[in-house]
Amino acid sequence: MSAEAAFSLPVSPEAPRFSPPESPRRAAAEREKRWTIAATQPEAEELARAASLPSVVAELLVARGIRTVAEAELFLSPRFDALHDPYSMRGMQAAVDRIQRAIDKQEKILIYGDYDVDGTIAIVLLKTAIEILGGVCDFHVPHRLRDGYGMQAAQLTQAAGDGVRLAISVDNGIRAFAAAEEAARLGLDLIVTDHHLPDAAAGIPAALAVLNPNQPECGYPCKHLCGAGVAFKLAQALLEAKDGERARAKLLPSFLKLLAIATVADAVPLLGENRVFAALGIEQLSRPVQPGLRALMELAEIQPYPHRLTARDIGFRLAPRLNAAGRMDVASDVVELFTTRDPVQARTLAEKLHRLNTERRNTEQDALVEIERRLAEDESLTAARCLVLDGETWHRGVIGILASRVVDRTGKPALVLTHEDGEAYGSGRSVAGFHLLDAIATCGDLFTRFGGHAHAVGFSLPSARVPELRARLQAYAAENISEESLAGEIRCDAELPLDRLTPALESWLHRFAPYGMENLEPVFLARRVRVHGSPRIMKERHIRLRLSQGPGPVSHPAVGWNLAEKLQGLQIEENSLLDVAYKLRQNDGGFSNGMELEIVEFRPAEWAG
Ligand SMILES: [Mn+2]
């Protein structure tokens, strides 16, 4: 999965802009969304009493699968000592033994990674651990466009020729059957570490050890580690075997900063061990020590301590810069950035990533303008329930992001394709309630290759077949997507009237961060709130206003991204009564209690049922 998939929904101030008039976003906004509120959890009352929690806090915890006081405590205060024993992961002992032998005999080790944030950080973590232990190790990052994803047999042949005796895959390899065969033929020992699902029919590749919590018979308790998470567990086992105390007190905690970036960027569920990685790592990220991280954070304009970082800072600021390397060029720069000790080199590399990200954004923006024009002009697209958009010159590295943007703007599932020498390469993103992989599988005969999951897909096919793909998919979508799921849904986690917001409750709710997959930022519903004073429009697109509820004199500052048009269209003004779906946000700009509301959606209160 990718960061774009996870972060495509909130329209961030950093997201690129479509030209406002006649934008497809408006068309989507005009369709009235369905408002739903989560059912109250029967166990919540019990938990609230047992753990002395406010009831809304208990509701949110139970909705995240938390039942006991101990689980609640760990969720609200993640601790390093809650990490699982690495040896409960199948294959760990064999992997540790072989790597230790390689270190003892000074055999050259090759780490084979991937070109995204997860894959590059996985390399950095394992390489650092092996080097701390005195091992010799090289790494390989595939080129996204030239090599594609996964381990290539030819690379192993070359490595063996260069004297490598042990290869370790990180964030890939669980389906690398050909590469594993080649390794065996070369007499090269192979350790696979991965988190992707194994092929149900073909099983796992033959290797000296396979570490993957998702392989059959692996009893590891946290099944949703990212690739860097699996690499971290291996690093943990290696370092603890040497000097457990030093590893736990110093080395491993220092790994958590990068691990948190990978965990958030790879969009794995932020629960269980992942939550510990993300929470502790993000906390430390506000005081970066490493030159590469410092340089990157400076260029990404992330405010230093005492400002507290959020998962959004990672998702919107750090991850795109790190991913830009793999999209536009070669991702090995990310590994260099995070392993160099030289501040000058770190700065140079960070600047390169920053520049590539700007280039990526411009490339994306140019394509979006073109897509925007087509959406406005081509009426068949307005009617279609699934969009298939192809371009001659769109950069293959950004088509996934483009698909996410189109989904954001139109509320429809979208496939974006680009042509290269008679072959079309595509990436697709879906909306809730429409299984995109199932959908494209109905056109399986058209593709050269395809894969993915419910939410996101990737594929290629001969360019000449694109019109047929479009026609068949649109016919399928017309049958299988309801008008309702296109309109979208405003999901509220709980009803929370504004007059119940106290600083104490706000600090409880603050402990639910960091947010990500399966721990989404809670959205609350407040009915019949009053607009206090005149709303202000910012940059023609956003709104800032104060909202109050009940007889008290308190009003709360609120902000709403991209809601200006709707506010004006509905003639909302002072004293209007609204239902609002909102999130609570820490604001550093000095508003009351530092908290403000972020309005997700509003509607005039008289529509309320
Ligand atoms: Mn990954």
- Tokens 């008290």 sit at which residue? 552
Residues 545 and 475 in one domain: no
390 Cα to the center of ligand 1, angstroms: 27
The more confident residue out of 172 and 393 is 172
Q: Does residue 470 fall inside a structural domain?
A: yes
Assign residue 129 the CATH number of its domain: 3.90.1640.30
Output the pLDDT for position 24: 39
Q: Do 257 and 121 belong together in one domain?
A: yes
Residue 594: which CATH number? 2.40.50.140
300 in a domain, yes or no?
no
Decide: 48 and 54 in contact? Cβ < 8 Å.
yes
Return the H-helix or E-strand segment holding 367: helix 343-377
Dist. CA 26 → ligand 1 center (Å): 35
Examine residue 379 and state whether it is found in any structural domain, yes or no: no
Closest Cα partner for 395 from 419, 421, 373, 428?
419
CA of residue 90 to ligand 1 center, whole Å? 19
Separation between Cα atoms, residue 478 and residue 483, nearest integer Å? 9
- In the reported structure, the alpha carbon of residue 21 is separated from the centroid of ligand 1 by a whole-number distance in angstroms of 38
Predicted confidence band of residue 23 (pLDDT cuts 50, 70, 90): very low
Centre of ligand 1 to C-alpha 266, Å, is: 6
- Mutual angle of helices 343-377 and 332-339, in 10-degree steps: 140
Same domain (yes/no): 174, 208: yes
Band of the pLDDT at 595, cuts 50, 70, 90?
confident
C-alpha 48 – ligand 1 centre gap (Å): 36
Q: Is 9 domain-assigned?
A: no
Measured in Å, residue 265 CA sits from the centre of ligand 1 at: 9
In the reported structure, the alpha carbon of residue 150 is separated from the centroid of ligand 1 by a whole-number distance in angstroms of: 11
Question: So what's the pLDDT on residue 317?
Answer: 94
Measured in angstroms, how far is the CA atom of residue 319 from the centroid of ligand 1? 13
Cα R_g (the chain), whole angstroms: 25
Distance 169 CA to ligand 1 centre (A): 12
The HSE-up count of residue 364 (CA atoms within 13 Å, CB side) is 24
Other C-beta atoms closer than 10 Å to the C-beta of 354 total 17
Residue 102, token pair as written in the block: 């390689």
**CATH number of the domain encompassing residue 409:** 3.10.310.30
Express as a percent the part of the chain with pLDDT over 70.
93
Residues 120 and 233 in one domain: yes
Ligand 1 mean position to 398 CA, how many Å? 18
Q: Crossing angle for the helix pair 343-377 and 319-328, nearest 10 degrees?
A: 80
Count other Cβ atoms within 10 Å, centred on residue 476.
18
Confidence of residue 31 (pLDDT cuts 50, 70, 90): low
Q: How far is the CA of 114 from the centre of ligand 1 (A)?
A: 8
Q: What's the average model confidence in pLDDT over 366-381?
A: 93
CA–CA dist 107, 101 (Å, integer): 8
Cβ(141)–Cβ(335) below 8 Å: yes
Checking if the pLDDT of 592 tops 70, the result is no
Domain end marker among 454, 480, 506: 480
Q: Are residues 146 and 227 in the same domain?
A: yes
For the record, the structure tokens of 399 come out as 């088509």
Contacts of 170 by beta carbon, 8 Å cutoff, 6+ apart: 111, 112, 113, 114, 119, 122, 123, 126, 193, 194, 227, 228, 230, 231
Say if strands 489-492 and 34-37 run parallel, antiparallel, or are unpaired.
parallel
Could you tell me the distance, in angstroms and rounded to a whole number, from the CA of residue 195 to the centre of ligand 1? Answer: 7
Q: State the distance from the centre of ligand 1 to the C-alpha of 117, rounded, in angstroms.
A: 8
Q: What is the pLDDT of residue 26?
A: 41
Clarify whether residues 129 and 247 are in a common domain.
yes
Confidence of residue 438 (pLDDT cuts 50, 70, 90): very high
> Which among 211, 214, 249 is positioned nearest to 232, based on CA atoms?
211
Residue 570 within any structural domain of the chain: yes
Q: How far is the CA of 116 from the centre of ligand 1 (A)?
A: 8
**Residue type (1 letter), 90:** R
Same domain, 150 and 124: yes
Q: Are 223 and 134 part of one and the same domain?
A: yes
| Count of structural domains within the chain | 3
Q: Is residue 390 part of a domain?
A: yes
pLDDT on residue 121: 98
Say how many Å lie between the CA of residue 73 and the centre of ligand 1.
29
β partners of residue 193: 211
Q: What does the pLDDT read at residue 552?
A: 80
Does residue 602 lie within any of the structural domains?
Answer: yes
| pLDDT, tens digit, 9 for 90 and up, residues 306-363 | 888 999 999 999 999 999 999 888 899 999 999 999 999 999 999 999 999 999 999 9
Please state the rounded mean pLDDT for residues 416-443.
94
Q: What is the mean pLDDT of the chain?
A: 90
Distance 487 CA to ligand 1 centre (A): 31
Ligand 1 centre and the CA of 172: distance in Å?
7
Query: Do 458 and 495 fall within a single domain?
Result: no
Between the CA of 194 and the centroid of ligand 1 the distance, in Å, is 8
Lowest mean pLDDT among 8-17, 262-271, 428-437, 524-533: 8-17
φ/ψ (deg, to 5) at 414: -140, 140
Supply the pLDDT for residue 553: 82
Nearest to 54 by CA among 599, 515, 501: 501
**Burial 405-429, CB ≥16 within 10 A → b, else e:** bbbbbbbbbbbbbbbeeeebbbbbb
C-alpha dihedral sign at 121, 123, 127, 129: positive
Same domain, 239 and 93: yes
Cis bond before residue 535 (omega within 30° of 0): no
CB 514 within 8 A of CB 311: yes
Q: How far lies 139's CA from each of 209, 263, 285, 333, 469, in Å?
A: 19, 21, 25, 12, 39
Unique residue bearing structure tokens 């923006």 = 365
Are the C-beta atoms of residues 579 and 603 closer than 8 Å to each other?
A: yes
Tell me, yes or no, whether 521 lies in a domain.
Answer: yes
Ligand 1 center to 121 CA (angstroms): 10
The alpha carbon of 171 and the centre of ligand 1 are apart by a number of angstroms equal to 5
Chain centroid, CA 566 distance in Å: 29
Whole-number pLDDT of residue 364: 93
Whether 82 shows a pLDDT value over 70: the answer reads: yes
Helix, strand, or coil (residue 132): helix
Cα 92 to ligand 1 centroid, rounded to whole Å:
19
* Residue 306 preceded by cis peptide, ω within 30: yes
Give residue-wise pLDDT tens across range 230-286.
Answer: 999 999 999 999 999 999 999 999 999 999 999 999 999 999 999 999 999 999 998
Cα 589 to averaged position of ligand 1 atoms, centre (Å): 36
92 and 195 in one domain? yes
CA 267 to ligand 1 centroid distance, Å: 9
Say whether both 407 and 542 belong to one domain: no
| Domain stop point among 261, 289, 306 | 261
Query: Structural domain of residue 167, as residue ranges?
Result: 83-261
CB 169 within 8 A of CB 176: yes
CA-CA distance, 2 to 71, in Å (whole number)? 29
Q: For residue 81, which phi and psi values (nearest 5 degrees)?
A: -70, 0
Rounded to an integer, what distance in angstroms lies between the CA atom of residue 345 and that of residue 353?
12
What was the pLDDT predicted at 242? Answer: 94
Task: Dump pLDDT digits (tens) for 167-199.
Answer: 999 999 999 999 999 999 999 999 999 999 998
Domain-ending residue, one of 261, 295, 329: 261
